[in-house]
Amino acid sequence: MLFLPSAFIFILGTIFGSFANVLIDRLPFEKSIGGRSKCEKCHHTLSGFELIPLLSYVVQRGRCRHCSSVIPPRLLFVELLNGLVWVLLFYLFGFSDILLFPIFTLLICMSLTDLENLTLPFSLVGLLIILSLTRFFISNMAIQTIYGGLISLGLFSLIYLLTKKRGIGFADLPFVFALSLLLEWPDFILMLWIAFVSGALVGIILLRFKRQGMKDRIPFGPFLVLGTVLTFFYSQIIWRYLLNLVG
pTM of the model: 0.91
From 94, 124, 155, the end of a domain falls on 94
Please, what's the b/e burial string for 116-148 (b: 16 or more CB within 10 A of its CB; e: otherwise)? eeebbbeebbebbbebbeebbeeeebeeebbeb
Cβ-count burial of 231 within 10 angstroms (0-12 exposed, 13-18 middle, 19+ buried)? Answer: buried
Q: Note whether 114 and 26 are same-domain residues.
A: no
Residue 159: partners with Cβ closer than 8 Å, 6 or more residues away: 167, 168
pLDDT digits (tens, 9 = 90+) for 25-81: 999 988 888 878 887 888 888 888 888 899 999 998 888 888 888 989 999 999 999
Q: Note whether 35 and 118 are same-domain residues.
A: no
- Domain ranges, residue 182: 97-247
From 36, 70, 94, the end of a domain falls on 94
Q: Note whether 139 and 228 are same-domain residues.
A: yes
Among 247, 113, 132, 245, which Cα is nearest to 188's? 132
pLDDT given at position 163 = 80
Q: Note whether 52 and 116 are same-domain residues.
A: no
